[in-house]
Amino acid sequence: MTQAVMLQGTASDVGKSVLVAGLCRIFYQDGLRTAPFKSQNMALNSGITPDGKEMGRAQIFQAEAAGIMPDVRMNPVLLKPTSDRQAQVVLMGKVATNMDAVSYHDYKPRLREQILAVYNSLAQEYDVIVLEGAGSPAEINLRDRDIVNMGMAEMAQCPVILVADIDRGGVFAAIYGTLALLHKQERDRVKGVIINKFRGDVALLYSGIEQIESLTGVPVLGVMPWLDVDLEDEDGVALQNDKYRGNAPRDITIAIVQLPHISNFTDFNALAAQPDVRIRYIRRPEALTDADLVILPGSKNTLSDLAWLRESGMADAVLQTHRQGVPVMGICGGYQMLGDTIVDEVESGLGTQPGLGLLNTITRFAQDKITTQVNATMSGELPSWLAAAAGLPVRGYEIHMGETVLQEGCCTAMTLQKNGCSVVDGAVTADGLAFGTYLHGLFDSDAFTRAVVNGLRARKGLAPWETTFCYAEHKARQFDLLAEAMRQHIDIDKIYTIMQQHQEPV
């Protein structure tokens, strides 16, 4: 008999993903085999499973919190926006097609049977499934074909806990309004409310909690404070939060260009966790003035974001910063942008376009997407600030639909091991001031990251840090801190009771 509970929110970015991770950690600590599940995820942050399937990063880090390997069944449908109106549809880890919003809305009913089968197969292997909704269940224009909020709760026959964000204001209106817009059978599934991201004296909320419980008949299970824990964010809107503005003083400042279609900004979590590094996401040219390293991150629409770089003045600012001797790095789409030429007859239909010209490379887009985890070794000789990283092992994953060919003046950055074969990747200039790679997640490799940061320290005349920061241990501590805080501020016993009362055979 599998137990399940689903967290839904009054809006996007209310903290559902983090609280799901916290519940996964709690149940894992309590000895239960636990798995996360989100039937449909719209995100540009994705990762690769050990068997080469693409899924949302949120479900990957939730699986880590549960002490298990990520499995594509935890996120069977992934939508990756390519523009304001279109998205790439990834089904069970592989690209299926591109659709506009109207076409996908019409297509969703055909996914219900597959989603339920996937959920049931996962539930047969675990004691507890912690489901996550998307956005809000009160999107009444989408209700009739919903597969991710109340539609999924109905398929799984599981209870729902509603998460509301008090930090943005209007929390009681959000709770009341959300519940009021649900059908009665949907409201009956909501067994509790969690008020999230509270700052201040919780006693100030007591009268409001009593009134909202009286008005709705739904108990408030707890008030979670704003937590100082370092965990992954799923939505790009999170980049507006204070922790991404890089205000705290550090020895090294790394500027990451916040592209309109930025993807996989989780690549930089390990960098941001370094005690001597300040990460800043920037959208204005003048914000580059104090950077020790500039990074162009991944993009779901390389040529559109390249055009934005030029139109916004960011391209000129990056090139000027490079001329002043500041190294520039590109990852995946950012790597493609650093090159001389991009040939795209697949993704945008814009044909051949010039890149920024910092790397003498040519990129050609292809129909097939490469999705794989890889082990790699940095090249034996690397110049300048990268020298200490020469020969170091790194791990990461590839998600791209292009091939980049090096021309004269560029050296290979690393060698990948793929299917028993050695394959070169990346490019670096002789002076080390331009460096690119397709490898996402390489900063999760502790020795490599410390070597890179120490190389930047040396450029500023600073002594190296001899201690290597272990990012995996750091993440484990953050999961435990989250679980501890949730046990303190949420009635976890009540959540167990809710699950037991709605336990269903699978």
How many other β-carbons are positioned within 10 Å of the β-carbon of residue 352? Answer: 11
Can you tell me which residue has the tokens 């609280």?
Answer: 19
Q: Give the span between the Cα atoms of 132 and 156, in whole angstroms.
A: 12
Q: Are 280 and 241 in contact (CB under 8 A)?
A: no
Confirm whether 440 is a catalytic residue.
yes
Q: Are 62 and 36 in contact (CB under 8 A)?
A: yes
Q: Give the span between the Cα atoms of 27 and 470, in whole angstroms.
A: 25
Please name the helix (run of DSSP H) or strand (run of DSSP E) that holds residue 321, with its range, or none: helix 314-323
Q: Give the span between the Cα atoms of 432 and 411, in whole angstroms.
A: 10
* Token digits of residue 426: 């990346």
Q: How is 332-383 classified by DSSP, letter by letter?
A: THHHHHHSSEEEESSSS--EEEE--SSS-EEEEEEEEEEEEEEEEEE-S---
Q: Give the span between the Cα atoms of 346 and 343, in whole angstroms.
A: 9
With a CB cutoff of 8 Å and minimum separation 6, the contacts of 289 are none
Can you tell me which residue has the tokens 């990012």?
Answer: 471
- CA trace torsion 124, 125, 129, 135 (10° rounding): -90
Q: Give the span between the Cα atoms of 295 and 322, in whole angstroms.
A: 11
Which residue in 261, 400, 410, 440 is the catalytic one?
A: 440
**3-state DSSP call for residue 451?**
helix
Can you tell me which residue has the tokens 């200039």?
Answer: 429
**3-state DSSP call for residue 221?**
strand
- CA trace torsion 63, 368, 394, 380 (10° rounding): 180
The contacts found for 390-394 with CB under 8 angstroms, 24 or more apart, are 392/445, 392/447, 392/448, 392/451, 393/445, 393/447, 393/448, 394/439, 394/442, 394/445, 394/448
* Token digits of residue 59: 């479900």
Confirm whether 411 is a catalytic residue.
no
Please name the helix (run of DSSP H) or strand (run of DSSP E) that holds residue 398, with its range, or none: strand 393-406
Which residue in 332, 400, 410, 489 is the catalytic one?
A: 332
Which residues form the catalytic set?
Answer: 332, 440
